[in-house]
Structure 1
Amino acid sequence: MKKYIDKIKKKQSLTFDESKAAFEILMEGKANDQEIFDFLTSLSEKGESSDEIAGGVFVLRNKSKRVTVEGCVDTCGTGGDGMNTLNISTASALLLASMGIKVAKHGNKAVSSKCGSGDVLEALNIKINLEPNDIEDQIKKNNFGFMFAPNYHSAMRFVGPIRKKIGKRTIFNMIGPLSSPALVKRQVVGVFDKKLLKIFANALNNLDIKFAWIVNSEDGLDEISPYAKTNVIQLKNSEISEIIIDPKELGINAHKFENLIGDDAKFNADKMINIFKGEDNDFSKAVCLNAAAGAIVNETYQSFADAYNHSREHILSKKVIKHLEKIQNA
């Protein structure tokens, strides 16, 4: 481990193979606490590269429990934008499922906010502690299955205590969202920092992802925003391109950012139920924007405006609440 730490301390990035080797040591519990601490903090100080992220994802995926499904989308972001918003990507995943798009949602409980995807799904009475075969059944029946990260990535236990001690974001905040146990090939990933857009695109390209959107909005959200332009890096069949989503061009009349601020799991779940029953507000628009991105990477639509307009029609039709009840009763 020492040679990798020394290289990083010299502000040199590890290659993909070196990163895999280093993470193999970490994930097998062969590094001591000081080495884990030095490795993570030195990476953070240098700035994580796409090869380093991809190497970590490769090893974490390799060691996870496997969920065998095909043709699924994931909408797991990094979190950590510090905005304490409602659970936009989780709501958009449920909206996509009700639109007939298969979603293998990967997520955790709250780390940097009051309410993570695991928390809000529990508050919605959706089971989160499921084994792979149960998730596979759920996706077949209702287009939605949730993989609660701690149940699938037991190798993370070796680094958990040191991550807590560090108390700040580390490379694991970047690796987690890309390490789907379902090995999805299509993904919408929100990132907390614009600088990560291309880094994530290159990392995902290294991992054979077919179609991904990596998003970060000008108002600081790790989501597509209804208030400000959102920068998108698209990775499609190994080609990387840049897109800007402008809510004004879509005719979105959203009012104020405070309308997206969340609270505890019950509060966020209630807000989600309201929009699934057809209540029209800023949260509903934000959820439709992010669902539209899922529909694009699934190749259900070619045009983002068409994908957004269909999501809007669907959520206002009140069909989503009926689909939610199916998921709850599964």
Structure 2
Amino acid sequence: MATEIDDVTRRIAGGEALSAERTDLLFTALMAGQFAPDAVERFLRALAARGETIAEIVGAARVLRRHVTAVSCTDPGAIDTCGTGGDGISTFNVSTAAAFVAAGAGATVAKHGNRTHSRCSGSADVLEALGVPTDLSPTRLGECLREIGIAFLHAARLHPAMAVVAPVRRAIGTPTIFNYLGPLTNPAAVTRQIIGVPRAELLPLIAEALRRLGAVHAWVVHGDDGLCDLTTTTTSRYIELRDGRLTEHALAPEEAGLPRSKPSELLVDSPAASADMIRAVLSGQPGPARHHTLLNAGAALVVAGRAGTLKVGIKLAADSIDTGRAAAKLEALVQFR
């Protein structure tokens, strides 16, 4: 088997692309621990250097979906706000803040995420700083989704097969195909998502992968400031997947009725600082972090089918914060055991 992955690595380094079926077979063996770590590292580095294809992302995602520990979710409108990560910019965890706001507005949110690899705070890091348990069993997570309408699905606990590649990913230290696979392999099998990506050229790859994997409604987003979010500091780009069709869009914060922010106003230096900023937003504090959260929560509510337009979604998001419902979702999650 080692010969097989080394041969594939050489072919990839020469520019060859794998079919989804070949990728499926290769990742099935990889996740079963059939390859030596140094061979896996060479393979992942070669993929990243050449650039992962849609077929490779789809094939690998199908393998991870088969290996995931499932979490029961009965709401077909449930959403996830998990991004790929990898932007290397230490803003507060807006996708996590937006998850609470969207839940407060009535959406079911199966928030998938992990610890950070490229910034100061990942979703698991900030949720622990907020007092949210990140070690609930799959059964309790399903109950949490039904009872509260939001749950945190910790990738490290629900993707046990990923333990095989965890040391290799740490050794590489830069984004690999697994960054793209995380948002495509939600344990609750959601079909509605907001996925942030760190580079604009990833927008069509992830959007088309979502389409082939059966997503119903999704926005794949990128801020022109480099953020894996819709941004309020400058313009954003996104591709919307809806009813099997992909459409490209550009968005300025003013078009959504929001003022521009300065990048420095969104930065944090620790999970604790990110948690403080999220608490401030959920308490109704005005300012740039609120605007940034409203933009992303508004989009999440569109994808969830709770709002017909982004402006309506932003209005519902503001109401979720100002009525205390978003903060109540956080408190309920902290208390859930």
TM-score, normalized by length of structure 1? 0.97
Q: Could you tell me which of 281, 295, 298 is aligned with 1:292?
A: 298
Alpha-carbon distance, 1:3 to partner: 4.0
* Matched residue, 1:278: 284
Partner of 1:48: 52
Alignment check: 8 A CA contact 2:100 2:327 kept: no
| Contact persistence 2:23–2:59 (CA under 8 A) | yes
RMSD (Å), alpha carbons: 1.3
Aligned to 1:262: 268
1:3–1:238: structure 2 CA closer, same or farther, 3 Å change rule? Answer: farther
Q: Find the residue that maps to 1:249 and give its secondary structure.
A: helix
The unaligned stretches of length 5 or more in structure 2 are none
Determine whether 1:101 maps to 2:101: no
CA contact (8 A) 1:75 1:188 kept: yes
In 2, are the aligned partners of 1:255 and 1:282 still within 8 Å (CA)?
A: yes
Q: Give the match's secondary structure for 1:205.
A: helix
Q: Does 1:200 align with 2:171?
A: no
Distance in 2 of aligned mates of 1:210 and 1:222 = 21
Q: Secondary structure at the match of 2:153?
A: strand
Q: Deviations over 1:37-88 (max 9, x none)?
A: 2210110111011111111111111101111213210000011111100000
Instruction: Quote the offset at 1:286 in angstroms.
Output: 0.8
Q: Give the alignment of 1:1-330 within 5 angstroms.
A: 1-70=5-74, 71=76, 72-330=78-336
CA distance in 2, matches of 1:255, 1:104: 29
> 1: CA distance between counterparts of 2:304 and 2:6?
42
CA distance in 1, matches of 2:105, 2:206: 28
Counting aligned pairs with the same residue, the percent is: 33
Distance 1:59 1:255 in 2: 40
- The separation in 2 between residues aligned to 1:255 and 1:98, in whole angstroms, is 24
Partner Cα distance (2:261, 2:153) in 1? 34
Distance in 1 (CA, whole Å) between partners of 2:220 and 2:184 is 11
8 Å CA contact 1:192, 1:221 repeated in 2? yes
> Are the counterparts in 1 of residues 193 and 303 from structure 2 also a CA contact under 8 Å?
yes
Deviations 1:70-117 (A, max 9, x none): 321000001111110000000101111111100001100121111110
**Gapped regions of structure 1 (runs ≥ 5):** none
The 3-state SS of whatever aligns with 1:187 is strand
Residue identity in the other structure for 2:99: A
- SS of 1:234's equivalent in the other structure is strand
Deviation at 1:315, TM superposition (A): 1.6
What does the per-residue CA deviation read over 1:238-282, in whole Å, with 9 as the maximum and x for residues that have no partner?
211112222112231234111100121221111111111110111
Aligned residues of 1:63 and 1:155 also touching (Cα < 8 A): yes
Q: Report the Cα offset of residue 219 of structure 1.
A: 1.2
Take 1:58 and 1:94, find their aligned partners in 2: how far apart are those partners? 29
* Alpha-carbon contact 1:234-1:241 (below 8 Å) kept: yes
